[in-house]
Structure 1
Amino acid sequence: MLALTDTSTTFFLVLLLGIGATLVMDIWAFALKRLWNIPSLDYALVGRWLAHMPKGILFHQNILNTSPVRFEGFLGWLSHYLTGIIFAAGLVSVVGLDWLVSPTFLPALLFGMATVVFPFFVMQPCFGFGIAASKTPKPMIARSKSLLTHSVFGAGLYFTAWAINLLGNF
């Protein structure tokens, strides 16, 4: 049973929660690619997007046609995991610290599903893919993949919290 005794413990747990849930999501994406040849987002594109922001470029006609930048892959993967940590902190701030001690599935799943708002209304439009992938060749497939992936992230939040509770007494 976890004991949330101080801020540093809570911070550490949220860090683990975000990393674990993001890792679950990445394992899901790897399995989709390996088993069914279904590709996921190339996080280098996220790095490319972020690297062009200091140049004043937030929106792209199509990020695929934007000049690559040095270390975009590293930057994209780093931001991917940082986003997972921020989302985990968001869940804990919404449901409360007690959830870390006694996690339940539904709040984590629903929160994970709600995070699809970020790619639908921020990233995809900025990448030039339109709101909710409306400018992609198969928008409904892209939307479904995004929603399913963010649902897996939500499940990952729950299972990571459960595993943390099982493995440690913080």
Structure 2
Amino acid sequence: MKNWFTPTLPANRRFGAAMVAGFIGGNISSFVKWGTEIPFPPRTPDRGIPPKDMLIDMGVNAQETIYHFSEHVINWGVAGIHHLFSIVFALLYCAIAEIFPKIKLWQGMAFSLLVTIGFHGVLLPTFGWAPPLWDLPAAEIFSEVFGHALWMWTIEVFRRDIRNRMTGLPDAEYMK
């Protein structure tokens, strides 16, 4: 059995298709992640929203990054951070999948666990945007793990389908 870091053959990689898939999958999966936050809110009502706190720390007045839709006030700054996160990580995932196919373990959901731990366990607490992982309520951990799993699975579905449709070829590790 090949190990985690056994790369594919360079001639079998299709980075152009991977980037198209990552961009489209990242956009669509962002809406999937937001959708999981309706039935399973990711934090208690008394806590700030990490993307809003990030904007404030960058010197952006997050209260001014709004637009109105159907008489609702939407914070495009917060939504933009969330959406950009999704696209960047989808592009990264799709590029890595071309080189190291083991990243696709459990249809990408293993990668989603790494992202969840990296952000909610390390990055957000380090910058004071969220409590340490051990202080998070179980409901928040469930929401983030579940939401990120569906988010990444969506990216993997788009990655595989778009790559295969664009190239007419199987994934890099299956090519001779």
How is 1:21-32 mapped onto 2 (pairs within 5 angstroms)? Answer: 21-30=29-38, 32=39
Ranges in structure 1 where 5+ consecutive residues have no aligned partner: 33-37, 58-66
Which digits, 9 at most, give the CA deviation of each residue in 1:66-103, with x for residues without a partner? x962116211111111111111122123321696xxx9
CA distance 1:18–1:113, change in 2 (3 Å): same
CA distance in 2, matches of 1:98, 1:90: 12
The alignment's C-alpha RMSD in Å is 3.5
The count of residues paired between Structure 1 and Structure 2 equals 143
TM-score with structure 1 setting the length: 0.64
CA distance 1:169–1:95, change in 2 (3 Å): closer
How is 1:32-47 mapped onto 2 (pairs within 5 angstroms)? Answer: 32=39, 38-40=40-42, 45-47=49-51
Partner of 1:61: none
Matched, 1:18 2:26: yes
CA distance in 1, matches of 2:147, 2:156: 14
Ranges in structure 2 where 5+ consecutive residues have no aligned partner: 1-11, 67-74, 168-176
Q: Is the 8 A contact 1:22 1:153 kept in 2?
A: yes
The structure 1 residue matched to 2:84, chosen from 82, 85, 101, is 82
Matched, 1:71 2:65: yes
Rg larger in structure = 2
Q: Is the 8 A contact 1:25 1:156 kept in 2?
A: no
Matched, 1:145 2:112: no
**Amino acid corresponding to residue 27 of structure 1 in structure 2:** G
* Matched position secondary structure for 2:147: helix
Identity of aligned residues (%): 9
Matched, 1:52 2:52: no
Q: Which has the higher strand share?
A: 2
Q: Is the 8 A contact 1:22 1:81 kept in 2?
A: yes
CA distance in 2, matches of 1:81, 1:152: 15
Partner of 1:112: 112
Which digits, 9 at most, give the CA deviation of each residue in 1:84-125, with x for residues without a partner? 1111122123321696xxx96625111112110212222255
Q: Which has the higher helix share?
A: 1
Question: Cα offset for 1:17?
Answer: 1.9
CA distance 1:68–1:95, change in 2 (3 Å): closer
Q: Report runs of 4+ in structure 1 exceeding 4 Å deviation.
A: 3-7
TM-score with structure 2 setting the length: 0.62
CA distance in 1, matches of 2:151, 2:132: 21
Q: Is the 8 A contact 1:112 1:154 kept in 2?
A: yes
